[in-house]
Amino acid sequence: MILSLSGCGKPIACTPEKGVASLKLLVVSHAASDAKQALANGDRRLLGFTGVGLEAPGFSGDPFSYSYGIRMIEGTSDVTCNQEDLHLNQNAWLYAKQYNQEMILLTSIKH
């Protein structure tokens, strides 16, 4: 299914975001261990999800207030073109939530 959006009266073809291939590499069950590895490498950033605004799943505050910054997951969007795109974005959101919760726990312990 191809979704066509209108902008100024002209249809806009819906195409998956750049980076969708990298979304296929996100394994939710690896999120916590990936966060631990990132911290071991000195990266304390949370993962950000692109939508209408910036979201850091699993972080209850304003993402811009997180002390160590945000690293965006390329290819995420709140606009999906097909079922695969929808599934990949849902998976990325769950991965980011688990990753971020682990990172928040780890950074609160290892200041």
Chain segment 24-36, per-residue pLDDT in tens: 999 999 999 999 9
Type of residue at 9: G
Angle at the Cα of 83 (from 19 to 10), degrees rounded to 5? 75
For the chain, domain boundaries: 28-109
pLDDT of residue 58: 95
Q: What is the pTM of this model?
A: 0.82
Res 3 pLDDT > 60? no
Cβ–Cβ under 8 Å, residues 40 and 46: no
H or E segment to which residue 11 belongs: strand 10-13
Give the model's confidence band at 4: pLDDT under 50 very low, under 70 low, under 90 confident, else very high: very low
Distance CA 40, CA 83 (A): 36
